């Protein structure tokens, strides 16, 4: 036996212990045998405390976004916390109109967590980053005592490049603008709830977790003048539109019949007394554009696999009270207020 022999990590039966976050040999072994192998790229391979990255093209600006992920359960239909951490942060950068370039990842691990589950999460994260073309270039790992965490928490930060002259933001909506969504709503929130509560529906509801930068590229290529993009995550469509209405100093008028909600999510919401307009989405987009651009924007969204069910759901109104109102299928009016409380905690 070689004098410096170290037994490989037992990725089938092993568990995280405090030594994996202590900065010594065990932590180095965890990083080298799991994280570095799964997430391998030239920048991560530098092996230093930070990644040295090329500067963006002249005239481009940088967009930086960060997000923490504490979803429970860690694995759910359509994804897991690893892929979700990649998709969520890429989307936060992309809705600013930027091209996502790099990610960082920080893991908080609980003592006793199975290495097999951690490996599954890290490999899922690597696959999502590879598919999106956005590498994880640096990261960190910490371990907390058993009972002081909940398996795995992941924080990710994304860096993107914003082309010269491009301007989008929540304060840019104008009365008369069209409000669009890229697809059916509420699937992520309902998928998490069903998995958490062991609810069995006739058809499985799958999370819509996805990276949206390709869809956004197609949209902005067709309609460069899109004013607002936002991914309706926590709080769902209703809360997202309230945020935009307040930022822009406008109101919104929506048409309930035009809002896409799958039959499975609608039935589950009716059974559980939930409103799909307040459920989280992790692969959907809200876009606001001038009314004359709406058809071109819809065509661009529907031509992409992630936007086939895109719909025009309403318009921006002049309203000093910034109300978001819904024209119901029965012909009445309903106020869509901000989300009050948290009906589904730890959704992302």
Pair 219, 297: CB distance under 8 Å: yes
What pLDDT is recorded for position 6?
Answer: 74
What pLDDT is recorded for position 117?
Answer: 98
**Structure tokens of 87?**
């998709």
Q: Give just the sign of the alpha carbon dihedral 198, 201, 203, 206.
A: negative
Tell me the DSSP string of 278-330.
GS--SS--EEEE-GGGHHHHHHHHHTSGGGTT-EEEEEEE--TT--EEEE-TT
β-strand partners of 156: 67, 105
CA distances from 203 to 14, 75, 188 (A): 36, 18, 15
Give counts: helices (H), strands (E), the chain: 9, 13
Res. 234: pLDDT tops 70: yes
| pLDDT tens per residue across span 317-336 | 999 999 999 999 999 999 99
| pLDDT tens per residue across span 303-318 | 999 999 999 999 999 9
β-strand partners of 140: 106
Confidence of residue 98 (pLDDT cuts 50, 70, 90): very high
Residues near 47 by beta carbon (within 8 Å), at least 6 away in sequence: none
Q: Rounded CA gap, 304 and 301, in Å?
A: 6
**Structure tokens of 21?**
């976050």
| pLDDT tens per residue across span 334-347 | 999 988 776 778 88
Q: Rounded CA gap, 328 and 331, in Å?
A: 5
Residues near 299 by beta carbon (within 8 Å), at least 6 away in sequence: 222
What pLDDT is recorded for position 201?
Answer: 75
What pLDDT is recorded for position 3?
Answer: 55
Residues near 332 by beta carbon (within 8 Å), at least 6 away in sequence: none
Pair 316, 287: CB distance under 8 Å: no
Range name among 146-150, 197-201, 234-238 with the lowest pLDDT average:
197-201
What pLDDT is recorded for position 345?
Answer: 85
Res. 93: pLDDT tops 90: yes
Q: Rounded CA gap, 87 and 131, in Å?
A: 10
- Give the chain's mean pLDDT: 95
The reported pTM is 0.95
């Amino acid at each position: 036996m070689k004098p410096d022999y170290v037994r490989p990590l037992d990725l089938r039966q092993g568990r995280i212990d405090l030594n994996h976050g202590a900065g010594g040999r065990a932590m180095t072994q965890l990083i080298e045998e799991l994280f570095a192998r799964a997430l391998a790229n030239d920048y991560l391979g530098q092996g230093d405390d930070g990644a040295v990255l090329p500067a963006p093209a002249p005239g481009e600006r940088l967009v930086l976004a960060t997000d923490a992920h504490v979803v429970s359960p860690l694995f759910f239909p359509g994804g897991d916390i690893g892929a979700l951490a990649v998709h969520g942060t890429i989307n936060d950068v992309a809705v600013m109109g930027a091209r996502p370039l790099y990610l960082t990842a920080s893991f908080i691990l609980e003592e006793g967590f199975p290495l097999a589950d951690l490996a599954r999460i890290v490999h899922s994260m690597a696959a999502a980053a590879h598919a999106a073309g956005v590498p994880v270039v640096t990261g960190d790992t910490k371990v907390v005592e058993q009972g002081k965490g909940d398996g795995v928490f992941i924080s990710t930060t994304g860096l993107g490049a914003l082309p010269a002259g491009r301007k989008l933001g929540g304060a840019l909506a104008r009365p008369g603008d069209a409000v669009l969504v890229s697809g059916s709503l509420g699937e992520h929130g309902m998928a998490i709830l069903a998995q958490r509560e062991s609810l069995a529906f006739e058809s499985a509801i799958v999370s819509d977790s996805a990276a949206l930068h390709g869809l956004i590229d197609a949209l902005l290529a067709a309609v460069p003048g899109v004013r607002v993009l936002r991914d309706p995550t926590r709080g769902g469509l209703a809360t997202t539109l309230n945020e935009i209405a307040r930022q822009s100093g406008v109101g919104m008028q929506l048409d309930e019949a035009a809002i896409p909600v799958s039959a499975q999510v609608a039935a589950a919401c009716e059974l559980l007394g939930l409103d799909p307009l307040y459920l989280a989405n992790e692969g959907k987009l809200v876009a606001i554009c001038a009314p004359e651009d709406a058809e071109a924007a819809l065509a661009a969204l529907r031509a992409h696999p992630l936007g086939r069910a895109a719909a025009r759901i309403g318009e921006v109104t002049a309203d000093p009270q910034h109300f978001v109102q819904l024209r119901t299928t029965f012909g009445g009016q309903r106020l869509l207020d901000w989300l009050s409380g948290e009906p589904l905690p730890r959704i992302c």
